[in-house]
Amino acid sequence: MKVSLICGGPSSEHEVSINSTKSLYEAIDKSKYDVSIFYISKDLKTSFFVPKQQVEIPTDTSTFVPFMEGVEKYLTKIDLAVLAGIHGEFVEDGKLQTILEFYGISYTGSGPTASAICMDKFRTSLIVNTLEEVSLPNTSLIDIQGEVPTDGLEYPLIYKPNNMGSSVGLHIIQSEEELRKQIQKSREDEIFRYVLLQEYIRDAIEVTCGCLEDNKGNITLLPPVEIIPNKSAFFDYASKYEDGGAIEVSPPQNIEKNVSETISEMAAQIHTLLGCKTYSRSDFLLKDEQLYYMETNTLPGMTKTSLFPKETKAIGMSFPQLVDFLIENA
């Protein structure tokens, strides 16, 4: 089977994607698959290559071709596009999947509709709110280009973009003055337009949980990961990607077994409700046995030390076995 690992892209998670792809390439069974790399630069130029020993992104951009030309020239010749190593905008919002489907190119993971829904945190929460077993923090969706109502807000509150991943742009806001400054900064950066202002739930346990789904629709529950940030008060970008940024434990140590099992079941229900495929990972807060839903990731990080592989390792599935599962059940 000819498979191509798709990586890079124009998103804020470009570097994270490259690290995921390096781990995937190291883990994939090259005696079973004919493996290539399809790299997308931040300005949507592409390079297609077969690594010699490890993934080295080409520095000679003169050989790059425009994105659509690269898709037609290279990806239409392969059997499967592996999307497990590409993250953020352009793919987690379903745009790349839509293009691949237009060309009849098979790919791993969720389709365009589920991806677009999950990338929109506010509308995802409205769907998940139909489930009785989870609650939602009080949340407002605001357009930072318009007049932002500040009456009635309680501080501290969580400020985060509605459609970005990896905790990019996430802040704890302590006052109205600080909120106005952050909104002005976001306007000047022009990276995103819509922001969630969310209730800050103090002293909650941060927890995330995924599930696996085979191509017959059978779902395997995974144990949650308990997250204890070391570098900040919450699981921000530094906590996720810097050495020693957080302690991540699966199965959890500070959560009762029956509550842990409920979280695993909820992650699977949410996966199905949102129309995800093959795998997904949902984030929660737990306080006094009350579970609060935060968001769902259709393409969670995929290095050997990422959260999702920690969960599959806890049920005895090695990282190479996980990569094989994602390919075989595309």
Domain positions in the chain: 2-108, 117-135+202-328, 144-199
Cβ–Cβ contacts within 10 Å for residue 275, how many? 16
User: Contact 297/278 with Cβ under 8 angstroms?
Assistant: no
- Alpha-carbon distance values, 47 to 11, 74, 217 (Å): 17, 9, 35
Q: Tell me: the pLDDT tens digits for 202-225?
A: 999 999 999 999 999 999 999 999
Per-residue pLDDT of 19-50, as tens digits, reads 999 999 999 999 999 999 999 999 999 999 99
Beta-bridge mates of residue 297: 281
Report yes or no: 17 and 83 within 8 Å, Cβ to Cβ.
no
Region of residue 147 (phi > 0: left; psi between -120 and 50: alpha; otherwise: beta): beta
- Peptide bond preceding 251 in cis form (omega within 30 of 0): yes
Going from the C-alpha of 152 to that of each of 1, 179, 196, 292, the distances in angstroms are: 58, 13, 15, 22
Statement: residue 250 has pLDDT above 90: no
pLDDT, residue 23, reads: 95
183 alpha-carbon distance from chain centroid = 24
Evaluated on CA atoms 72, 74, 78, 84, the torsion sign reads negative
Q: Is the pLDDT of residue 133 over 70?
A: yes
Angle between helices 319-328 and 14-27 (to 10 degrees): 100
Q: Which fold has domain 117-135+202-328?
A: D-amino Acid Aminotransferase; Chain A, domain 1 (3.30.470)
CATH architecture of the domain covering 144-199:
2-Layer Sandwich (3.30)
**DSSP secondary structure code for residue 30 in this structure:** T
Confidence grade of residue 254 (pLDDT, cut at 50, 70, 90): confident
Amino acid 241: pLDDT: 46
pLDDT of 81 above 80: yes
Supply the DSSP symbol for 61: G
Query: Would you say domain 2-108 falls under CATH 3.40.50.20?
Result: yes
Three-state DSSP class for 207?
A: strand
Burial of 116 (0-12, 13-18, 19+ CB in 10 A): buried
How far apart, in whole angstroms, are the C-alpha atoms of residue 128 and residue 123?
A: 9
Question: What is the reported pLDDT for 307?
Answer: 93
Give residue for tokens 């352009």: 90
Please write the tens of the pLDDT for every residue from 138-191: 999 999 998 887 788 999 999 999 987 656 789 999 999 999 999 999 999 888
Q: Which residue has the tokens 């695993």?
A: 264
Q: What is the pLDDT of residues 279-315, one digit of tens each?
A: 999 999 999 989 999 999 999 989 877 999 999 999 9
Q: Which of 278, 290, 327, 323 is nearest to 304 (CA)?
A: 323
Cα Rg for the chain, rounded, in angstroms?
20
pLDDT of residue 237 exceeding 50, the answer is no
pTM reported for the whole predicted model:
0.91
Q: How far is CA 320 from CA 1, 35, 155, 280, 324, in A?
A: 16, 14, 45, 18, 6
Query: DSSP string of 302-326?
Result: -STTSHHHHHHHHTT--HHHHHHHH
Q: Where are the beta strands (DSSP E) in the chain?
A: 2-8, 34-40, 45-49, 65-66, 80-82, 139-143, 157-161, 171-173, 194-199, 205-213, 219-221, 225-229, 246-249, 279-287, 290-297
Q: Which residue has the tokens 């003055």?
A: 177
